[in-house]
Amino acid sequence: MYRMTIVYGMPEDPAHFRDYYYRTHIPLARRMQGLTGWNLTWLDGDDRHLLVAALYAPDKAAMDAILASPEGVAAREDLANFVTGTVDFLAGDEEEVALA
């Protein structure tokens, strides 16, 4: 499984960010075909970061194709419409490790 993690820094207006993210960005991102899943973690008690989003694809080639698609480009370009803090993209193969 390949994972793209997007870490959003604290925006100037967190309430506006969250509203825009749910009303506009998520519907736009849902148009990306080929993702096997995604999840959001809204951070508590961190004054530097607000949100961590994780997108999943079968492998790097699939993720690259998803992000290069017109829908992927539109989602990436939409960041300029609501991100006023930092945004970092981290990607790599996800490995599950057993606890015992």
Give me the CATH number covering residue 33: 3.30.70.100
Strands 87-93 and 49-57: unpaired
d(CA 26, CA 30): 6
Report whether pLDDT(16) > 90: yes
Structural domain contains residue 85: yes
Structural domain contains residue 14: yes
Structural domain contains residue 98: no
Stretch 1-8: mean pLDDT: 98
Question: Whole-model pTM?
Answer: 0.92
Averaged confidence pLDDT in the chain? 96
pLDDT band for position 68 (cuts 50, 70, 90): very high
- Could you say which DSSP state residue 34 is in? S
Structural domain contains residue 35: yes
Structural domain contains residue 99: no
Give the range of the structural domain holding residue 18, as residue numbers without chain letter: 2-93
- Residue 9 in contact with residue 85, Cβ under 8 Å? yes
Which bin fits 84, alpha (ψ -120 to 50), beta or left (φ > 0)? Answer: alpha
φ and ψ of 42, to 5 deg:
-85, 125
Stretch 9-22: mean pLDDT: 97
* CB-based burial, 69-99: b 16+ in 10 Å, e otherwise: eebbeebbebeeebbebeeeeebeeeeeeee
Structural domain contains residue 52: yes
User: How many structural domains does the chain have?
Assistant: 1
pLDDT 10s digits, 32-64: 999 999 999 999 988 999 999 999 999 999 999
